[in-house]
Amino acid sequence: MIRNQRRQQALQNGIFLLGMQILNYGLDKVPPATLIGVIAQTLLYAGLIRVPWNAEDVCISAVKIIKYKDWQSFFFSNFEHGSDMHLYYNMLSFILKGSYLEPIYGTINFALLLVILSIGCSAMYVSLGYILMQLTADYGYFTACAIGFSATLFALKVIALCEERDKLHNIGGFVVPSKLAVWLELILIHLLVPNSSFIGHLGGILVGCLYSYTFVGETIDNLIHTITGTPIIHEEQFYRRRNRLIA
């Protein structure tokens, strides 16, 4: 049943559009880890990667993790998508961010960083859901369920903005400096796409900030270096941002 539902989803236009966009962008221009990530998530959505759950079964919420210890949702919710267009826009964003960051960090390092960021985004989502429920007494924050790669993409966006030199970005017609771009994008997406997960996107930004601006990022870099034997080399701009905040 699950397999048939996924194969029906695969007939939707989003996957076709994604394939066309990749070909237009240039298949050879997409780095290996990014390309594998895009293909794997597309095949998962299409049902060609066989898993014993439906996408909605692994949506993540604070209550599922804290109360019911649903670790399947904790680890896999980031890689499922609710619709073909959800997949399409996320994978386009992933291609752009991965094509920028993966050549800087190296393929294996970037792949490990993606895993760590995804786990961090799940932990942040659960933490925010619990904290907001405690602060507002609104149980909806505790039970709000989400799937998709968007949180990890927001984390990658923060990191990418920290790697580049300060410049202006056009976000929905508003021209803003790099440090404000991700926050404006968060607000615009929430206003234009009310069903999107504000907590998930905010959590991704916070994870990206922890990596980019605090000792957490240095700890992650050292861990990855220990595993792969290859250090993550950041642009000078990145180190200035991290050291400025620590100082």
Query: Which SS3 state, helix, strand or coil, does residue 204 take?
Result: helix
Residues 43-92: tens digit of each pLDDT: 999 999 999 999 989 999 999 999 999 999 999 999 999 999 999 999 99
- Contact in structure between 126 and 202 (CB atoms under 8 Å): no
- Contact in structure between 74 and 35 (CB atoms under 8 Å): no
% of the chain surpassing 70 pLDDT: 93
Residue 5: per-residue pLDDT: 55
- Contact in structure between 233 and 184 (CB atoms under 8 Å): no
Residue 37 has pLDDT above 50, yes or no: yes
- Contact in structure between 43 and 49 (CB atoms under 8 Å): yes
Average pLDDT for 150-173: 88
pTM of the model: 0.92
- Contact in structure between 121 and 79 (CB atoms under 8 Å): no
| Catalytically active residues, by annotation | 150, 201
Residue 4 has pLDDT above 70, yes or no: no
Nearest to residue 151, comparing CAs of 116, 184, 118, 185? 118
Residues 182-226: tens digit of each pLDDT: 999 999 999 988 889 999 999 999 999 999 999 999 999 999 999
Residue 167: per-residue pLDDT: 77
Structure tokens at 231: 């250090």
Confidence of residue 11 (pLDDT cuts 50, 70, 90): low
